[in-house]
Chains A and B, each alone.
Chain A
Amino acid sequence: MNIIVILAPLSLLLGGLALVFFFWTLRNGQYEDPAGDAARILLPDADDRPV
């Protein structure tokens, strides 16, 4: 069971990393225009950076 001492913090670290990335996408405006993002992928020359 001692392996928990390593595995538990590791999983928290990975989960925390995902949370940090979620914060980043949110602040980066990646949820502002879901319909537009779906459309931009089809255009060769559209500006596909987030707002």
Chain B
Amino acid sequence: MALIDAAASVDLSGFVRRGQGAAEADFVVRGARCAACLGKIERGVLALPDVAQCRLNLSTGRLHVAWEGGRADPGRILSTVEALGYSCAPFDPGQGRRDVDREGRELALALGVSGFGAANVMMFTVPIWAGLFGQELGEHSRQTLYWLSGIVATPCTLYAGQPFYRSAFAALRRGHANMDVPITLGVGLALAMSFYETWRGAGHAYFDAAVSLIFLLLIGRFLDHKLRRSARSAASDLLALQAPVAQVLDGRGVVHGMPVSQVRPGDRLVIQPGERVPVDATLLEGASEIDLSLVTGESRPEATSVGMRLAAGVLVLNGKLVVQAASGAEDSSLADLARLMEAGAQAKTAYTRLADRAAALYIPVVHTLAAVTLVLGWALTRSFETGLVRASAVLIVTCPCALGLAVPAVQVAASARLFRRGVLVKSGVALERLAEVDSVVFDKTGVLTDPTPEIVDLEPEVLAAAAELARASRHPLCRALAAKAGTGVVARDVVETAGQGLEGVVGGRRARLGRAGFVGSGALDGPETELWFAREGQPAVRIAFSERLRPGALEIVRHLRQRGLQLRILSGDRGDAVERVADAVGIDHWRAALTPQEKLAEIEALQRAGRKVLMIGDGLNDAAALSIAHASMAPGEASEVSQTAADLVFTGGDLGVVADALGVARLARAMALQNFAFSALYNAVAIPAAMAGMVTPLLAALAMSGSSLVVMGNAARLTLSRRQA
């Protein structure tokens, strides 16, 4: 389905990047899955005039098109791809650059280098280990193999370990320690001590351990990065499909399509029926009804008046409007909303990650033990050197490989599992916070209720007649009516009066569909959303709409209550509308007609009372509450600001995934704790051995790699298990 029906007629040149004699643009394509889709789309686009190159990335769903000469026609691309049956939207990668995954590439390079190092050093080390079991290996051969290991391992470790060293130094400069500090220390010590031992000819070198440690840790980092990136790009696709183009009117009255991010204050914009106002704006011309549900939570449409201020995110229902932008895209949400969100984000950065909490316990203990080893070793053996070697051994064997992987491995597996269910997890910390929640706060409009309204009982004959008129309009109520009636004929001579209704010829008689006053029923506006329908010579009929619950809403409420979570509704809508929904789903605590500030205050009050709140909301009015809540989720249709503020975004319309997300988050937390327990056990065995000077390089290598593999294997259970958490 096209979000911009007028795509072919709108000039989309704002999305085209021009170079010398060539032009290129990117698009998001949805629905392409197989080789046949790929071939069909690429052939179709290449057949268009002037298209020089066209490449669909099936993994990311991005279509890259290059034109030769200066003549680029992105509108034709959109209509061509849509005619083939795929949804398509122009995509602005931002700042005119191709979207390059620099960090991913760096990690992959580091992974390659450390993999090379680990494999080759292992090749030199295995003969040495074999020598330990009595095979013949001369003193000189052994020394040669050690030197070779050192020559290969040192540059590989130094290069590939950079992500850890950088993070460790950054943390130390800020005056605290994270898990990368002991990693850096352990690797550095292992290299230094191995060179010293090799030079001495003593033969306790840990080159292999140092490089394979970096290799294993990088695997965790790399997977983590890949997953995070695919979640982020899926989230930005959602937004590209939602509000792709602003239609800007220039001085000569010509309309240009532009990425919303390029709109400047003072620009005049044309908003077609069915589109959202992209930035805060003032109404210049036109009349329409507007839907404020994303902005305030109010579910009943409102009429416009010239000079009125329209907030970004307002949906224009049935009239074409010309507005003047009052702000650019970055500051288009209200200033105080932005400030409230900032405060919320700050509160969240104060949250201590599970891994950092473990590091805070682990670092002092291990470093104290190393110091004790140094002193005891020195005192007992009367050799400072022996003490130093044993203390270093303690730091090397406790280098937190398993501990460093414990949380990321689990979070990667958990996020991947949720990603397949249509839930995008923005960060690993979000999962940790989600696992802790004990109350859930719902927004009503668009979260508990479906965005499309449902018709309260209506005679089939009236429905069929009214639908003939309704099919001619883009008003959501008309669309709901048309959808209910199914396909059929469209009335003749339809005229739409913005903000009032439609008039046309149905079955040979004039008929009107719209507001009570327009149709001439004489009735006042009722509590429910409604339309009136009248045919010439017949009394007017009222068509009432009620909000329909989102699929899975009832089940999710029951499920969450069974798990002992406290449920609430905080809505910006009118009291009666909220009460009806609250009764339907069975939530006792609800509050209506709240401003964004009041929602925020409610959440703050709950959290001050010691509760950990999960907020689920979709509107601009929820953004502040989403950003302050302990954890937050937003549906894929939510406003851009809310999706940005939320920790998790769920697509697919079914609220049931909230339970999945909660279950997986809790399972992930349990598994991270299991991994911590395992790491502690490993250290409890390894540290005394190291203190007594009993750790050989073979033992260290087996124990360190082995513990990492156990931790990763435990995390993989999360991907495999079908257990309902």
A32: chain B residues within 8 A (beta carbon): 57, 59
Which of B105-113, B231-239, B504-512 forms contacts with chain A? B105-113
Assuming the A-B contacts A23-B112, A36-B57, A46-B42, are A8 and B35 also in contact, with contact meaning beta carbons closer than 8 angstroms in the complex? no
Q: Interface majority SS on A: helix, strand, loop or mixed?
A: helix
* Inter-subunit contact B116/A1 (CB<8 Å): no
Closest residue of B by beta carbon distance from A14: B120
* Inter-subunit contact B116/A15 (CB<8 Å): yes
Q: What separation, in Å, do the CA atoms of A35 and B38 have in the docked complex?
A: 10
Assuming the A-B contacts A32-B57, A39-B58, are A23 and B109 also in contact, with contact meaning beta carbons closer than 8 angstroms in the complex? yes
A35: chain B residues within 8 A (beta carbon): 58-59
A6 at the interface (CB under 8 A from B): no
What does the 1/0 interface line of A1-26 toward B look like (CB < 8 Å)? 10010001001100110110011001
Q: Total A-B residue pairs with C-beta atoms closer than 8 Å? A: 61
Assuming the A-B contacts A19-B113, A39-B58, A46-B42, are A8 and B108 also in contact, with contact meaning beta carbons closer than 8 angstroms in the complex? no
Q: What separation, in Å, do the CA atoms of A7 and B145 have in the docked complex?
A: 12
Rounded to whole Å, the gap between the CB of A37 and the closest CB of chain B is 8
Rounded to whole Å, the gap between the CB of A1 and the closest CB of chain B is 5
Residue among B43, B57, B138 with most chain A CB within 10 A: B57
B34: chain A residues within 8 A (beta carbon): 39
* Inter-subunit contact B42/A47 (CB<8 Å): yes
Cβ contact of A22, chosen from B112, B124, B138, B152, cutoff 8 A: B112
* Inter-subunit contact B120/A12 (CB<8 Å): yes
Closest residue of A by beta carbon distance from B108: A26
How many chain A residues touch B (CB < 8 A): the figure is 26
Cβ contact of B56, chosen from A1, A8, A12, A36, cutoff 8 A: A36
Using a CB-CB cutoff of 8 Å, which residues 37-69 of chain B contact chain A?
38-39, 42-43, 55-60, 64
Q: What separation, in Å, do the CA atoms of A16 and B155 have in the docked complex?
A: 13
B64: chain A residues within 8 A (beta carbon): 51
Q: What separation, in Å, do the CA atoms of A1 and B108 have in the docked complex?
A: 36
Rounded to whole Å, the gap between the CB of B706 and the closest CB of chain A is 24
Q: What separation, in Å, do the CA atoms of A18 and B152 have in the docked complex?
A: 15
A19: chain B residues within 8 A (beta carbon): 112-113, 116
Using a CB-CB cutoff of 8 Å, which residues 247-265 of chain B contact chain A?
none
Rounded to whole Å, the gap between the CB of B447 and the closest CB of chain A is 33
Assuming the A-B contacts A1-B141, A23-B112, A36-B59, are A8 and B124 also in contact, with contact meaning beta carbons closer than 8 angstroms in the complex? yes
B119: chain A residues within 8 A (beta carbon): 15
* Inter-subunit contact A39/B108 (CB<8 Å): no
Q: What separation, in Å, do the CA atoms of A19 and B152 have in the docked complex?
A: 13
Closest residue of B by beta carbon distance from A39: B35
* Inter-subunit contact A31/B108 (CB<8 Å): yes
Using a CB-CB cutoff of 8 Å, which residues 24-51 of chain A contact chain B?
26, 31-36, 39-40, 42-43, 45-47, 51
Closest residue of A by beta carbon distance from B62: A33
Closest residue of A by beta carbon distance from B119: A15
Assuming the A-B contacts A19-B116, A26-B108, are A51 and B55 also in contact, with contact meaning beta carbons closer than 8 angstroms in the complex? yes
Cβ contact of A40, chosen from B38, B123, B145, cutoff 8 A: B38
Rounded to whole Å, the gap between the CB of A30 and the closest CB of chain B is 11
Cβ contact of B58, chosen from A15, A16, A31, A33, cutoff 8 A: A33
Q: What separation, in Å, do the CA atoms of A15 and B117 have in the docked complex?
A: 9
* Inter-subunit contact A33/B42 (CB<8 Å): no
A15: chain B residues within 8 A (beta carbon): 116, 119-120
Known: A4-B141, A26-B109, A47-B55. 5 other contacts (CB 8 A): A8-B148, A36-B38, A36-B58, A39-B34, A39-B58
Interface residues of A (CB under 8 A from B): 1, 4, 8, 11-12, 15-16, 18-19, 22-23, 26, 31-36, 39-40, 42-43, 45-47, 51
- 10 tightest Cβ-Cβ pairs between the two chains A and B: A36-B58, A39-B35, A35-B58, A42-B35, A35-B59, A33-B57, A19-B116, A43-B39, A33-B59, A22-B112
